[in-house]
């Protein structure tokens, strides 16, 4: 039961989201009104420990993070499937255990494959 039964959860979630947006907006507005403003070309350069920036900063780099993102996608979808299972698990008894056991076995095989291929190694 939420705070007020007369308001639906969707409306409350939207209220909370609007509150967050409002907080940022209001604080930015106050800061804009009372903060000083000045501009110079030197000041608008990125802070890279005093060394002038070389080249463009929005670059492609290191695939290491990319592989972990792909692995994450695989396992995140798995976790999404586990949520509904966790709710009905108690009523299903040993059958529920068997079903999810096979599901997890296949996924663990996937992790084992990635591990063996060296995807988890950072180099």
Which residue in 111, 104, 34 sits closest to 72, CA to CA? 111
DSSP 17-83: HHHHHHHHHHHHHHHHHHS-----TTTTS--STTSPP-S-SS----THHHHHHHHHHHHHHHHHHHH
Q: Does 52 bind other proteins (CB under 8 A)?
A: no
Q: Does 40 bind other proteins (CB under 8 A)?
A: no
| Binding to other proteins, residues 90-109 (CB under 8 A) | 90-91, 93-94, 96-97, 100-101, 104, 108
Sole binder of other proteins in the list 43, 52, 102, 106 (CB under 8 A): 43
Sole binder of other proteins in the list 32, 102, 106, 116 (CB under 8 A): 32
Please say whether the beta carbons of 46 and 75 come within 8 A.
no
Contacts of 110 (CB under 8 A, 6+ apart): 74
Name the minimum Å distance from CB 66 to other proteins.
9
Q: Does 21 bind other proteins (CB under 8 A)?
A: yes
Q: Does 63 bind other proteins (CB under 8 A)?
A: no
Name the minimum Å distance from CB 51 to other proteins.
11
Q: Does 70 bind other proteins (CB under 8 A)?
A: no
Q: Does 20 bind other proteins (CB under 8 A)?
A: yes
Please say whether the beta carbons of 96 and 103 come within 8 A.
no
Q: Does 77 bind other proteins (CB under 8 A)?
A: no
């Amino acid at each position: 039961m939420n705070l007020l039964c007369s308001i639906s959860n969707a409306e409350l979630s939207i209220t909370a989201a609007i509150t967050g947006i409002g907080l940022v907006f209001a604080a930015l507005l106050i800061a804009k009104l009372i903060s000083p403003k000045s501009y110079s070309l030197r000041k608008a350069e990125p802070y890279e420990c005093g060394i002038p920036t070389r080249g463009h900063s929005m670059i492609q780099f290191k695939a290491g993070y990319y592989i972990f993102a792909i692995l994450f996608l695989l396992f995140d979808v798995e976790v999404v499937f586990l949520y509904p299972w966790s709710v009905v698990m108690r009523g299903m008894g040993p059958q529920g255990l068997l079903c999810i056991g096979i599901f997890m076995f296949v996924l663990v095989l996937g992790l084992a494959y990635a591990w063996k291929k060296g995807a988890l190694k950072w180099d």
